[in-house]
Amino acid sequence: MPAGSYIVESQTTGEVDPRERTDFWSEHIKSLQTQMDFRYATPDPQTFHGRSTRQRTDTYQLVNWQCDQIEYNRTPRSVRHEPDPDYRFLLPLSGELVLRQDDQEARLTPGTGSLMTLGAPFQLLHDASLQGIIFSIPAREIDGPLSRKSPLATGLDLTTGLGRVVHTMLRSLSDERDHLTATEFNAVSDRIVELLLMLAAGDDRPDTTGQLTEVEAMVRLHVREHAADPDLTGTSMARALGWSLRQIQLALQRVGTTPRELIREERLRLVRDRLQCRECDHLTITDLAHSSGFSSASTLSTAFRRRFGVSPRELRHGGR
């Protein structure tokens, strides 16, 4: 799809021949996600009902779906024939989901969620009352920060604290789907991924590291607010926030990044958002570089292509 596009589309089995509902649904889900096998609880396709609404850009996808009872299986053969390294975050809104992957089982009900990968076999089952959200995340957004590549079938508590914030943001992103732009959808999705990484990393941390979690959250907020400052460094952050540089480095190290990498990432996202904003059309790539904390247009272009796979100029024109 063209860079900068934002698409909202809905599908329902009520719009197809009742005799073809299960076949339609299988192909539809494969087009939304990946190759997998389906086992339907009902032997009669005419009694099956399902609906979905998809929001997507060239980076993220969010699907809100509801359907009757199904068992989904992604086999080793499917993984080999149609590789997909990306991740999904599962969030049931009603009913129950059972996810089995990497010898783990997560039973998900409203208020819990799980991060999983399509790069490994899995089995996913749900009952007839299921309604849920499945949020697609590029592998590069997870593997780098978490410094690992493994199936994650851990049930995460979304009823309090940071988990509840993630839950609310995902629900809001779905509810406001008709009132968002590509830039807004990507920006909110970026923040959700940041919080999910903190939530997932926090699940492995002993309680005594709560202070480092707080430091990490404050550092991320500070970098977001001051990314355009060319003098922003780990040292300047430490001075502004009242922590030592070592504390900041330790807090970020736990989630697989450094002050320098975090600053560069936030600046690149800032440039990406500005490239997709019509109010910034008058700015040249050099203007964008200098106003976003980069020393030159060439430095920006090199880092931008490495991060997003296109140059700033290509994204601007492709998005139009």
Last residue of a domain, one of 161, 196, 230: 161
User: Are the beta carbons of 227 and 292 closer than 8 angstroms?
Assistant: yes
User: Could you read off the pLDDT tens digit of each residue along the chain, which spans 320 residues?
Assistant: 666 689 999 999 999 999 999 999 999 999 999 999 999 998 899 999 999 999 999 999 999 999 999 999 999 999 999 998 899 999 999 999 999 888 788 889 999 999 988 888 999 999 888 999 999 999 877 776 555 544 465 678 899 888 999 999 999 999 999 999 998 999 999 889 888 887 876 544 333 355 677 788 889 889 999 999 999 999 898 888 878 787 888 888 887 889 999 999 999 999 998 898 888 888 999 999 999 999 899 999 999 999 989 999 998 887 54
Split into its structural domains, the chain has a count of 2
User: Are the beta carbons of 286 and 297 closer than 8 angstroms?
Assistant: yes
Last residue of a domain, one of 144, 161, 178: 161
pTM of the model as a whole: 0.68
Domain hosting 59: range is 7-161
CA–CA separation, 140 and 221 (whole Å): 21
Examine residue 185 and state whether it is found in any structural domain, yes or no: no
Residues 127 and 249 both lie in one domain = no
Residues 147 and 23 both lie in one domain = yes
Examine residue 179 and state whether it is found in any structural domain, yes or no: no
What is the model's pLDDT at position 319? 54
Looking up tokens 């024109």, which residue turns up?
317
What is the model's pLDDT at position 101? 86
